[in-house]
Amino acid sequence: MTGPLNSLKVLDFSTLLPGPFGTLMLADMGADVLRIESPTRPDFVRLLPPSVNGVSAAHAYLNRSKRAMALDLKQPEGIEIVHRLVGDYDIVVEQFRPGVMDKLGLGYEALKAINPGLIYCSITGYGQTGPYRDRAGHDLNYLSIAGMTGYNGRRDSGPAPMACQVADVAGGSCHAVMAILAAVIHRQQTGEGQYLDISMTDAAFSLHALTAPGALVAGEDPELEGTKLNGGSFYDCYRTSDGRYLSVAGLEPQFFSRFCEAIQRPDLTAKGLSFSPEVVDEVKGAIAEAIGAHPLEHWLRVFADVDCCVEPVLSFSEAREHPQLKARNMVVSVPDGRGGEQPQVASPFRFSATPVGYRFAGVGLGQHNEEVLREQGFTDEEIARLRGAGALG
């Protein structure tokens, strides 16, 4: 593998989205990621439609470039395999509820005894401590507890789910990768490994970058359509006459002035900075009336050469064909392991000296069992014993 992380070796015990998306980033950047899956309880992502040649497209993307082993961790022989792997794979990512890995004999202290330099990252909904540590949850729950869902939506319809999994990905995945890479730097300097406790709720709470300061210092609790960025100003989406939408985001005075000139409402320019609800409603109503008078194509022509932060709201299929994303090669073809290729979203990372790479799309359950065991020095007799004991799926 190419990439800046090609010296890292990661054991990935995670399923669903947060852990797998995080280890996808690591794999794209060159890390050797080995997924450890249960042979009896499949990762739900493997079952998500649509499928291509029997493989879920979501699974093929989230697990590209990762090798796969199927181990029954309820069998002592399965634990034996992991213990041997940890001597070589010195980063662990897991996403079980607190205490599960300890009960299996695969907790941080047990594996640290084998490899003192181990970096061990646990991703959970609420973290390893606190009254919610054992509580079940999903992305919407974490965002709700973190106070983010409370001001995402419309006053007349109430809070709404977000379109992408912010707590899972921006919270769990991205924060896990940042923490792991920080721990790698620490280990390079000191030789020490460490344990990383990533709470998706904590991470979501930390994302209140512009609203938390006011809420904490001045008691200004953000509300639905109550901030400049959640519909409480002209910064919003407006329907065109043909049922499409334009995103209008020119908060700075120079941008808003150009926008008002373009829609032939220069009289609105002086009102754009007001945060008075009455004035905001007036401005938004006037913008909606102007935008709603013409179809999207008209506005695309109007704003083609006007620098004022106005863009069309695109569907995913339109976005993938947008000239900017095409110029950035944000859709790539990845070998599917069966002689074909599959289109996938590219890595967003750009390195001048160590480019990212894509080895293969996500593979079948346990596809690399024997390959990995032989690399680790297991003999034919040992592999046969492990298979006979039911440790290998």
What residues are labeled active site?
138, 168
Both structure tokens of 143: 């965002």
Name the residue with tokens 């976005």: 319
Q: How big is the chain by its Cα radius of gyration, in Å?
A: 25
Cα–chain-centroid distance for residue 124? 14
Q: Is the dihedral of CA 272, 276, 277, 281 positive or negative?
A: negative
Distance from C-alpha of 165 to C-alpha of 137, rounded to nearest angstrom: 13
The identity of residue 174, as a single letter, is: C
Of the candidates 65, 43, 137, 60, the one whose C-alpha atom is nearest the C-alpha of residue 97 is: 137
Q: Is the dihedral of CA 20, 110, 178, 212 positive or negative?
A: positive
Of the candidates 62, 69, 70, the one whose C-alpha atom is nearest the C-alpha of residue 334 is: 62
Distance from C-alpha of 8 to C-alpha of 4, rounded to nearest angstrom: 9
Distance from C-alpha of 393 to C-alpha of 385, rounded to nearest angstrom: 13
Q: How far from 156 is each of 18, 153, 347, CA to CA, in Å?
A: 32, 9, 38
Distance from C-alpha of 180 to C-alpha of 89, rounded to nearest angstrom: 14
Name the residue with tokens 């709603």: 292
How many beta carbons lie within 10 A of that of residue 392, not counting itself?
22
- Count of alpha carbons within 13 angstroms of residue 271, beta-carbon side: 19
The DSSP call for residue 233 is S
Distance from C-alpha of 309 to C-alpha of 297, rounded to nearest angstrom: 17
How many beta carbons lie within 10 A of that of residue 129, not counting itself?
10
How many beta carbons lie within 10 A of that of residue 218, not counting itself?
8
